Amino acid sequence: MGSGVLSALLADAGLRDDPSLGLVMGEVPLRDIVDRTGTPTYVYHAAIIRERFTALDAAFGDLPHRICYAVKANGNLAVLRLLSKMGAGADIVSGGELLRALAAGFSPDRIVFSGVGKTDEELIAALTVGVGHVNVESLAELRRLAMLAELQGARVTVGIRVNPDVTADTHPYISTGKGGLKFGVPTDQLDEALAILDEASHLTLGSLAMHIGSQITDPTPWVKGLERLCELLAVARAAGHAPTTLDIGGGLGIRYRDETPLTPAAWITPLIPMLRESGCTVQVEPGRYLVGSAGVLLTRVVHRKHSGGREIAIVDAGMNDLLRPSLYQAWHEIVPVQRTPGEEQATDIVGPVCETGDFLALERPLAPVAAGGAVAVLGAGAYAFAMSSNYNTRARPAEVLVDGDRWAVVRPRERLTDLFRDEIADPFAQTEAP
C-alpha cells in the first residue's frame, strides 16, 4: 500500500505514527492500552466520531433534517451516549437495540424502529415506550402493527420502507435496495399499504423510507432512489395521506483500502433540490460513516511460522472477534503498533480459531512484528465487535474509548467462566429414578 493511502487511513482514524511512541490515538499511545488492557481489544476515538457527526450535520445546511445513528454498526453504550449527547437519534432493528438506545439516553421519540422481522413482543415494546417511527417492511407487518396498536390503545407514527429497486455497487450481502430481496415493501404494493392505513384507526403515515445498501461511494443510487421516493410521496398525498418525512437511509462508505469515499456534502448536495421541493424533513441513518474509521482492533502476535512457502503470523484475534474478512473477504489495513526496523514481507495474518477461513488478511505486506508484538487493525469501528461471537468458547474482546489524553475501558473483556455460567450440565439429575 502506498504511503499516501496509509497516511489517509491513519488520518481517518485520528492516528499518528510517532517514532518513539508508536501509534498514538489522540494523545494516547496505543501500546499503553495493549500493556494495561491486553489483547484483543477494540479502541474507539471519540474525537473522530464527533468530527464525523458534525460534518454530516453541517452538510444539510438549513434543510430540516434528523440524523438517526444505526445502532447495529456499533452498540457500545459509551458510543451511543456520545452520539446521543451530540443530538443524534437512533435507528434500531431489534428489541435489544431498543433497550440499548434507551439505556444510552436516547429519547423514545428520536428512535426509529426498522427491520424486516419484528416480533409481536418487539412491536409491543416499541408501542409501550412510544418510539418516534416504526418503519414497516411488509404488508403483513403493517396489518400486525395495526392490530397490536388497537389492542394496546396506542397511537403510532408509521414509516413505510419501500424497496425502490435500485442496485448499488457494493458487496451483494450489504445491497438492500434491489428488487426481490427481503427488504422493504415493493413499490407496486404501496396502494394496498395505503388502503390498510385508511382502515387503521391507530396508525398515521409519517414517512416514506428507503435503504439501498451499505459502503456506497457514488451518489447516483441515492438520486435514483429519491426520485422514486418522491413519486411515491405524490401517490401517498393523492390518496389523502400527509407524510412529513422522507427517510433516505444510510450507507455512506468509508476508506478501508484505496476507496475515495463521498464527503457528506458530495452525498447530500445532489439530493437537496428534490428534498426541498418535497417540503419534508429528511431523515438519514448512518452507521459505518460515523464510527467505522474511528475504531481499531489491537491484537498481539502469538507466534510466527513458515509453511508451504507462506509466511504466517498467528495473532490472538480471530474470526470470532472480527468476522468481516472471513464473511465478506473485506480488507482491513493492518499496521504495527510499534515500528521495528526491517523489510516488509508478504504475510498471512491469521487467528487461533479452528477454521481455515479464520484470517484477518492474506499475503499482506507486513513490517517485521515478532511474537508478543502488537498490530492495529484499522477501520474496525463498525460491524466489528457488533458481529463478534464466542465461537470456540472464546471471550469477546474488551472495548476502550479514547477522548483526548484520556482513555477508559467501556466494556470489560468477558470472563471465560461467564460464557457457560447459565448452562445446565445435568438437567434431568433430579428426576432420575434411584
Annotated catalytic residue: which of 68, 230, 280, 354?
354
Domain total in the chain = 2
Q: Check: CB of residue 266 under 8 Å from CB of residue 272.
A: no
pLDDT in tens, 97-143: 999 999 999 999 999 999 999 999 999 999 999 999 999 999 999 99
Are 55 and 202 members of one domain? yes
- In this structure, what DSSP letter does residue 404 have? T
Lowest mean pLDDT among 272-281, 317-326, 366-375: 366-375
Whether 199 is in a domain gets the answer yes
Across the chain, what does the average pLDDT equal? Answer: 93
Whether 425 is in a domain gets the answer no
pLDDT reading at 176 higher than 90 = no
Domain boundary among 238, 264, 289: 289
Name residue, grid cell 484470517. Answer: 359
- In this structure, what DSSP letter does residue 430 have? T
Are 353 and 259 members of one domain? no
Active site residue 68: no
Domain boundary among 289, 313, 334: 289
Are 153 and 221 members of one domain? yes
- CA 134/CA 152 separation, integer angstroms: 15
Report the CATH number at residue 325: 2.40.37.10
Are 336 and 375 members of one domain? yes
Lowest mean pLDDT among 109-118, 355-364, 425-434: 425-434
Mention every residue, 6+ apart, whose C-beta is less than 8 A from residue 48. Answer: 12, 13, 14, 293, 294
Are 331 and 255 members of one domain? no
Whether 428 is in a domain gets the answer no
Q: Check: CB of residue 385 under 8 Å from CB of residue 401.
A: no
Report the CATH number at residue 268: 3.20.20.10
Domain boundary among 246, 271, 289: 289
Host domain of residue 56: 46-289
Are 310 and 209 members of one domain? no
pLDDT in tens, 53-80: 999 999 999 999 999 999 999 999 999 9
